[in-house]
Structure formats: structure tokens, C-alpha cells
């Protein structure tokens, strides 16, 4: 079985500050890891994904994430956020037991203040 825990339900931050959104996963086998973003009244958009190889993954809009197998984490970071980054962010895991159906975390609401 696989599961995802997003440790913060809400993260407020000022514009141009750095941000880290935390994600921990649980799986007994190798997995694929994803971060999706959901802007208000829209569907989910893939930010980045880790399948294999380099543990530092770069995505769209200046976001990056680091896969840490020993800590079973996949935290999302951005060095300087913009107002337009205000959105809901979802971490997801798939691949356990050969299933490609992702399990999503409950989401983290990133609120960027001017």
C-alpha cells in the first residue's frame, strides 16, 4: 500500500520569500512521486515528477523538489515566490504494486501575501 502525508494544510508566505512545502510518503517499494498545482476553479496541473535518476527534480514555474529515500520525503521548494503562486499544491505517489494509480495527499494551500 502507498500513502502520502502533506504536513502543512496551509503555508502563508510573503512575496519574494522562499518556500518549502513538505511531503512524506509511505511505500515498501520503489515509487514515482509527483507534485501537482491547482489554481482556483481549475484542474490539476503537473509541476514536476520523480521517476528515477537524479534526486533533484526541476519543474515548471521555478519549482524544484528533492527525493530523499532515507527520509521518504519529496519536499517542494521555490527560492522566491510570486503572488501568482497562490494555489493548492498536491503531492502524489504511484507505482507501488505495479499500479500507476496515484494516491494524493490532502493538499497544501500556499498563500502568498504582498
Q: Which residues bind other proteins (CB under 8 A)?
A: 32, 34, 36, 41-46, 49, 51, 90, 94-95, 99-107
Q: How far is the CB of 37 from other proteins (least distance, A)?
A: 11
Q: How far is the CB of 28 from other proteins (least distance, A)?
A: 19
Residue of 6, 49, 21, 4 whose CA lies nearest to 111: 21
Which residues are paired to 11 by β-bridges? 110
Whichever of 17 and 101 has its CB closer to other proteins, that residue is 101
Q: How far is residue 14's CA from residue 70's CA, in Å, rounded to a whole number?
A: 31
Whichever of 10 and 80 has its CB closer to other proteins, that residue is 10
Q: How far is residue 34's CA from residue 89's CA, in Å, rounded to a whole number?
A: 10
Q: How far is residue 58's CA from residue 29's CA, in Å, rounded to a whole number?
A: 23
Cell of 94: 504511484
Whichever of 46 and 111 has its CB closer to other proteins, that residue is 46
Q: How far is the CB of 19 from other proteins (least distance, A)?
A: 21
Whichever of 42 and 80 has its CB closer to other proteins, that residue is 42
DSSP state letter for 5: E
Q: How far is the CB of 114 from other proteins (least distance, A)?
A: 27
Amino acid at each position: 500500500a502507498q500513502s502520502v502525508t502533506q504536513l502543512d494544510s496551509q503555508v502563508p508566505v510573503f512575496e519574494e520569500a522562499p518556500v518549502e512545502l513538505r511531503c512524506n510518503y509511505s511505500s515498501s517499494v520503489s515509487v514515482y512521486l509527483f507534485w501537482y498545482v491547482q489554481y482556483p476553479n481549475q484542474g490539476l496541473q503537473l509541476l514536476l515528477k520523480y521517476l528515477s535518476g537524479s534526486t533533484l527534480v526541476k519543474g515548471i514555474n521555478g519549482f524544484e523538489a528533492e527525493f530523499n529515500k532515507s527520509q521518504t520525503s519529496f519536499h517542494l521548494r521555490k527560492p522566491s515566490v510570486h503572488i501568482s503562486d497562490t494555489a493548492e499544491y498536491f503531492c502524489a505517489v504511484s507505482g507501488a504494486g505495479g499500479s500507476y494509480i496515484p494516491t494524493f495527499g490532502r493538499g497544501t494551500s500556499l498563500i502568498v501575501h504582498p
